Chain A
Amino acid sequence: MARMTMIEAIRDALDVMMGRDDNVVVFGEDVGYFGGVFRCTQGLQKKYGKDRCFDAPISEAGIVGTAIGMAAYGLRPCVEIQFADYVYPAYDQIVSEAARLRHRSAGDFTCPLVIRMPTGGGIFGGQTHSQSPEALFTHVAGLKTVVPSNPRDAKGLLIAAIEDPDPVIFLEPKRLYNGPFDGHPDRPIVPWSKHELGEVPTGHAPIPLGQAAIRRAGTAVTVLAYGTMVHVAEAAAQETGIDAEVIDLRTLVPLDLDAIVRSVSKTGRCVVVHEATLTSGFGAELVSLVQEHCFYHLEAPVVRVAGYDTPYPHALEWTYFPGPKRVGEALRAAVEAV
């Protein structure tokens, strides 16, 4: 075990996989010599050479398109899109090509590709450095979507993603890169070195895709969350004193439905939380599944807490961000409903 930030854990996962498998190549904007604007690939070019870790022209369509070609050749590219907000020029390559290559060629060609991208707000990035576009990927058949909430999961899930035979969208909540964030921007920053999930296994330690984790056991209400909102939900439970069970979904597709059903069947109440905009967000899928699978256990309507359906603002970041206050109100609404 070693103490790591999420950045270091991601770098460690890439290092482990590049060391184990020389088909793993890493590239993206500023990724090579500089090591990425968030430094997730720092040192990899020096260690593995310029043809294993390299800079790319500023072309997200080009990055993903060439990565698909490499994957079709038999490599395992793990590319970085500098911010999730910049992925849209690559959307055609992701949706029409990477996602369907296996199916349309009847398994003749496959696409073992990982697309990493920093996601979410909390850094005063305005509308072009704060988005949470996970639902745009979970909606697409053929893609897997992963959102880690801590260094240990980031490393284990990224290793599993790179070893996965299909394309994986790997969304890294940038507000969590250097420490857990409970949604209180006015409080001192807590480093990962002070958090148990900053303790990361060394070496090849994959965490299988499709398994949720219970971050806080409880009996009063189930909170379904992922990424930054896991920490916010934990804070809300603590601050309200409500005995919430906080489930970190970790992987959105494939989803650990069993863990969700087990918990909601026990608590009978459910709050779904995400930072992305509300309408047609992944929360809508979660609420539908809870309704389909847990209807007769439910004692109250399922409550959603999400970003407002507006672009992510700059000045009013903390008005927009669904922090512990809003999540706490949702917890109260869920447990008080009769």
Chain B
Amino acid sequence: MSDDALRLHVPEPHSRPGDAPDFSDFAIPEAGSVRRPPVDCKADDIRDLAFSIIRVLDDAGEAKGEWKPDLSSEELLRGLRHMMTLRAFDARMQTAQRQGKTSFYMQHTGEEAVSCAFRLALGPGDMNFPTYRQAGLLIAGGYPMVSMMNQIYSNAEDPLKGRQLPIMYSSKSHGFFSISGNLATQFVQAVGWAMASAIKRDTRIAAAWIGDGSTAESDFHAALVFASTYRAPVVLNVVNNQWAISTFQGFARGGSATFAARGLGFGIPALRVDGNDYLAVLSVARWAVERARRNLGPTLIEHVTYRVGAHSTSDDPSAYRPKAESAVWPLGDPIARLKTHLIALGAWSQERHTQAEAEVMHEVVTAQKEAESHGTLHAGDKPSARDMFEDVYAELPPHLRRQRQQLGV
């Protein structure tokens, strides 16, 4: 082989099982240090924000800087409660899957702030186009936990009639578009929904969601083109939790410094936010939502977070990343950080937190008992086999009627 032979570059994460996890080259700005530009700025005016990280809460739990949102203690406590509920919900459903009550589950551990905080920036009628780790949009949006569990159990009361894989929720009334197992498809659909709202001179906006890994899909890039071209009233959220199953985020990011920077090539204002900082996520979300609402066009937000748990109940991350990696993740835990903030404000205490944990768990367990009274995947009441043939089309066509008769239902 000659000296000038070409070589293929294949990215590698910093550490693999057996290595010491290392985030030392992960640059983290001080809380409060990143400026808050006016919402009518141009992408070019805020290029630096696509390479920084907007943070509000510092390590001592103090809220700092221009992005500090105006929130009462009650609002903060409600946010904490949402995140704690999601975590307890995850714990119970993960266990339920292990007990064979359902086939599959996906936890949010470490990412609770992203969807719980973002939801509060939206208004009635706005529509999320989520992927599979944003159940906080439902929890914080007041969707009943029992309905979520009924879906997870595919039982007789499953609003989706046992058709979908667990956690692939859908609720138009709660601004939550039907989740697809196929990645990235929803991202461009969100842009279309937002364009429709503009076509109809409506006031509602859309929020698109995608993971770091799935930004590699063509639909992500199509979404940016359309959002940019038509200045669609949409917030484009990239949740960078560092891992796409076993593949670290460097594969989807390639030579680009950040996922937020993807927006710049399309002329879309792009921000990076500390996804484990409830206050920062809510503040950035409000900024982007205001831009969309004022017809100023799309915003791309990269939520920098970490997937503490496995990708799903079918996954074992110890095969591809150091077990201790989540413990050294430098942005901490979103619940612990908001709790520390509330204690620093004098609005909360460890005792009250422990009590709240018990209350939240009780609520989740109560919902779980109710859901299980309607059946679980392999026990109790099931959706009707007749339902399998419904909704394929608006009206049951003759060939499906025939097939249903053959099945004898």
For the residues of A in contact with B, the DSSP-based class is: loop
The reply on A259 being an interface residue by CB < 8 A is no
* Candidates A30, A58, A126, A320; contact of B183 at CB < 8 Å: A58
Number of inter-chain CB pairs below 8 Å: 126
The reply on B383 being an interface residue by CB < 8 A is yes
Size band of the B side of the interface?
35 or more
- Complex contact A319–B407 (CB within 8 A): yes
- Complex contact B403–A33 (CB within 8 A): no
Q: How far is the CB of A130 from chain B (nearest CB, A)?
A: 9
* Candidates A37, A126, A319; contact of B164 at CB < 8 Å: A126
Contacts of A126 in B (CB 8 A): 163-165, 168, 181
Q: How far is the CB of B326 from chain A (nearest CB, A)?
A: 18
Contacts of B214 in A (CB 8 A): 58
- Complex contact B217–A55 (CB within 8 A): no
A38-91 with Cβ < 8 A to chain B: 50-51, 54-62, 85-86, 88-89
The reply on A254 being an interface residue by CB < 8 A is no
Contacts of B182 in A (CB 8 A): 85-86, 88, 128
Contacts of B315 in A (CB 8 A): 37
- Complex contact A128–B104 (CB within 8 A): no
A246-298 with Cβ < 8 A to chain B: 278-279
Contacts of B184 in A (CB 8 A): 58
Q: How far is the CB of A283 from chain B (nearest CB, A)?
A: 14
- Complex contact B164–A309 (CB within 8 A): no
Q: How far is the CB of A284 from chain B (nearest CB, A)?
A: 13
Given contacts A34-B320, A309-B392, contact A85 B246 (CB under 8 A): no
* Candidates B155, B165, B216; contact of A129 at CB < 8 Å: B165
Given contacts A128-B182, A311-B163, contact A30 B246 (CB under 8 A): yes
Given contacts A34-B246, A59-B218, contact A315 B251 (CB under 8 A): no
- Complex contact B403–A315 (CB within 8 A): no
| Cα–Cα distance between A62 and B213 once the two chains are bound (Å) | 13
| Cα–Cα distance between A287 and B171 once the two chains are bound (Å) | 43
Scan A187-212; emit 1 where CB is below 8 A from any B CB, else 0.
Answer: 00000000000000000000000000
The reply on A301 being an interface residue by CB < 8 A is no
Q: How far is the CB of B328 from chain A (nearest CB, A)?
A: 20
Q: How far is the CB of B349 from chain A (nearest CB, A)?
A: 44
- Complex contact A308–B388 (CB within 8 A): yes
* Candidates B8, B181, B251, B388; contact of A310 at CB < 8 Å: B388
Q: How far is the CB of A314 from chain B (nearest CB, A)?
A: 5
Known: A57-B251, A88-B182, A316-B385. 9 other contacts (CB 8 A): A55-B246, A58-B216, A86-B182, A126-B181, A127-B181, A129-B181, A279-B399, A314-B163, A315-B161
Q: List 9 A-B contacts (CB under 8 A).
A: A29-B244, A32-B10, A34-B319, A61-B217, A89-B217, A124-B103, A125-B165, A278-B403, A315-B383
